[in-house]
Structure 1
Amino acid sequence: MVEGYVTAQDGTRLWYEEAGEGLPILFIHEFGGNHAAWEPQMRRFARRYRCISYAARGYAPSDIPDDVSSYSQRIAVEDALAVLDGLGIGKAHVVGLSMGGFAAAHFGLIAPERALSLCIAGAGYGAEKEYEDYFRGVSLSVAENFETKGAKEFSKIYALGASRVQFQNKDPRGWAEFAARLATHSDRGAALTMRGVQAMRPSLYDLREDFAAMQVPTLVMVGDEDDHCLQPGIFLKKTIPACGLAVLPKTGHTLNLEEPELFNQLLAEFLAQVEAGAWRPRDPRANPGQIMRTE
């Protein structure tokens, strides 16, 4: 395994780990995780791919800038590009979960020429127009809780969210590892990430025209009990031309850890089809307005 730092545009150091050889896969973690949360995927895909995971700014051992202006959705994409640039990688498969899923989606809009494919998993919180204001308010409340209670204490609440208990019920040991990892978050880094990235990112629905023009092969994954990601997942499926949708049954938000075997199987098949040139835009004959053909 290789590990070390790359430097972002503003001088922030980003910690990365990589393993394996072959076409590169860049894994972008969720708010509640860190680079280590991709271990089931790093172990599986490093057998055939050059796999890279990294800690987002605000997550040790990456730097933790102390100003909210250093955190945004666009900066998150620029950091992903900085990791690729720092490792001399021109194009990569990009896989993201939740906050990382948003980064993967925006990566496809900002730098499509750098993406072999996109896997957008568990992305949707705050995207639904009717919940935009509510989500921003909750995000700011979460930020305050990380600052005042600290990650060690507030993680006990956050880890039991409505879309996390599925993981706890299925795999208590795995969920306990997730919760313990969450408890190590930087109090300040978590708060600034919530304020600068989560609370301020645009709704996916406001980017409809951009997604409709994006030609990058895309797989959207969502758990069927991750309620606020279901409709955004369907929206992305219907909007992005070369997009598939996988809905994992009886599954919450932490897809790659809650259902690692199924996640890896779906991702492996997607990557294989992309590399074979078989993951194409939807056939225009599959007209969504048609129920049955009569002539």
Structure 2
Amino acid sequence: MPRLSVNGVDLYYEEQGEGIPILGVHGTPGSAVMWADAATELARHGRCIIYDRRGFHRSAPPVPFGTLDLVDHVEDAAAVLAALHAGPAVVIGRSTGGLIAVELARRFPDKVKALVLLEPALFTIDPDAHVWARNVRLRVLERSAGRPGLLAATVMREALGDSTWASLPEDLQQVLAGTGPAVLAEITGHRMDLSEDALELSEDELAGIRRPTLLVTAEDSPEACRLVNARLAGALPFTRTVLVAGGHLINPAHPAVLDFVDRIAARADTWA
């Protein structure tokens, strides 16, 4: 398995295609496994790189760990791009991966050419979304107390609904269940979407992210996700928005995303 040693951890990654770098950042719970088909399609439009974030699936540490902070994931993403000489990249982040992508663009703007945010988990940007996320945090901790194997399923049921979780293949459910320790480490860590001290960004900080951004919202997602994207559409300087069918598990290779990547690759001067 291809691996990169960055920031004291070994990260599993996959790379395919040529052209403009494209970095895919998965959500929580999650793994690059869930991006396999999308990565193949994205590789027809650029150099696609996906990886398991630290603590997740094939990048899990060999011993138990305490907490995972947003800064860990952001610095890992920057280090992956640096190690592969792949920046600046179009960074595609789904859910928690979108939160990481936003902070990557803010802290390491030289690594990011453009952003694709698939319902990023920046819930603090909207009061109602923030309350929803805090309630999710409490329910997840209560329902999975002492049973880390239930953490992933509980988070997924909250975001996707019971029926969507039940429809996932059994082997994928097992992969996600195995990410329970990482999910708990993020919840008890700092600045993550379900942390006690979730990241808060001011209007000026968001306005400082001067990168072309595609905001993707799904019709059947929790209202909190739609509220976040509506706020971001007004706060980020250079945004396009698109509404797609389905729920929170948005396809990273949706046609709207592929079109956006192609426009960025061609440096089309179409922003207005």
Normalised-by-shorter TM-score class: 0.7 to 0.9
Give unmatched runs, 5+ long, in structure 2.
Answer: none
Deviation at residue 143 of structure 1 after TM alignment = 4.7
In the alignment, which residue of structure 2 is the partner of 1:5?
4
The within-5 A match list for 1:15-54 is 15-54=12-51
Query: What amino acid does structure 1 have at the position aligned with 2:175?
Result: R
Query: What amino acid does structure 2 have at the position aligned with 1:66?
Result: F
Q: CA RMSD, aligned part only?
A: 2.6
Does the residue aligned with 1:160 lie in a helix, a strand or coil?
helix
In the alignment, which residue of structure 2 is the partner of 1:195?
188
User: How has the CA–CA distance of structure 1 residues 274 and 113 changed in structure 2, closer, same or farther, with 3 Å as cutoff?
Assistant: same
Structure 1 residues 101-133: Cα deviation after superposition (integer angstroms, max 9, x where no partner): 101111111112211111011224632324535
Q: Distance in 2 between matches of 1:145 and 1:82?
A: 35
1:228 aligns with 2:227: no
Structure 1 residues 51-84: Cα deviation after superposition (integer angstroms, max 9, x where no partner): 111111111321436122xx22222111100111
Query: What amino acid does structure 2 have at the position aligned with 1:58?
Result: G
Aligned residues: 264
User: How has the CA–CA distance of structure 1 residues 146 and 80 changed in structure 2, closer, same or farther, with 3 Å as cutoff?
Assistant: farther
1:242 aligns with 2:238: yes
Structure 1 residues 191-218: Cα deviation after superposition (integer angstroms, max 9, x where no partner): 1022212313323xx3321121221110
Deviation at residue 176 of structure 1 after TM alignment = 5.2
User: How has the CA–CA distance of structure 1 residues 28 and 14 changed in structure 2, closer, same or farther, with 3 Å as cutoff?
Assistant: same
* TM-score normalised over the length of structure 2: 0.85
2:45–2:262 Cα contact (<8 Å) kept = no
Deviation at residue 154 of structure 1 after TM alignment = 4.8
Q: Distance in 2 between matches of 1:31 and 1:188?
A: 11
2:45–2:261 Cα contact (<8 Å) kept = no
1:26–1:51 Cα contact (<8 Å) kept = yes
Structure 1 residues 218-240: Cα deviation after superposition (integer angstroms, max 9, x where no partner): 00111122211101101111121
Query: What amino acid does structure 1 have at the position aligned with 2:140?
Result: V
In the alignment, which residue of structure 2 is the partner of 1:218?
213
In the alignment, which residue of structure 2 is the partner of 1:252?
247
User: How has the CA–CA distance of structure 1 residues 181 and 193 changed in structure 2, closer, same or farther, with 3 Å as cutoff?
Assistant: same
In the alignment, which residue of structure 2 is the partner of 1:292?
none
In the alignment, which residue of structure 2 is the partner of 1:179?
173
User: How has the CA–CA distance of structure 1 residues 188 and 177 changed in structure 2, closer, same or farther, with 3 Å as cutoff?
Assistant: closer
1:144–1:191 Cα contact (<8 Å) kept = no
2:52–2:58 Cα contact (<8 Å) kept = yes
* Greater C-alpha radius of gyration: 1
Moved more, 134-143 or 270-279: 134-143
The within-5 A match list for 1:100-179 is 100-124=97-121, 126-127=123-124, 128-132=126-130, 135-136=133-134, 138-139=136-137, 141-143=139-141, 146=144, 148-151=146-149, 153-161=150-158, 163-165=160-162, 167=164, 172=167, 174=168, 178-179=172-173
Q: Distance in 2 between matches of 1:121 and 1:66?
A: 28
Percentage identity across aligned positions?
25
* TM-score normalised over the length of structure 1: 0.79
Deviation at residue 5 of structure 1 after TM alignment = 2.3
Q: Distance in 2 between matches of 1:235 and 1:109?
A: 17
Query: What amino acid does structure 2 have at the position aligned with 1:105?
Result: V
1:265 aligns with 2:243: no
Query: What amino acid does structure 2 have at the position aligned with 1:13?
Result: D
User: How has the CA–CA distance of structure 1 residues 191 and 157 changed in structure 2, closer, same or farther, with 3 Å as cutoff?
Assistant: closer
Match of 2:264 among 258, 264, 274: 274
Q: Distance in 1 between matches of 2:242 and 2:98?
A: 14
Does the residue aligned with 2:123 lie in a helix, a strand or coil?
coil
2:152–2:183 Cα contact (<8 Å) kept = no
Does the residue aligned with 1:255 lie in a helix, a strand or coil?
coil
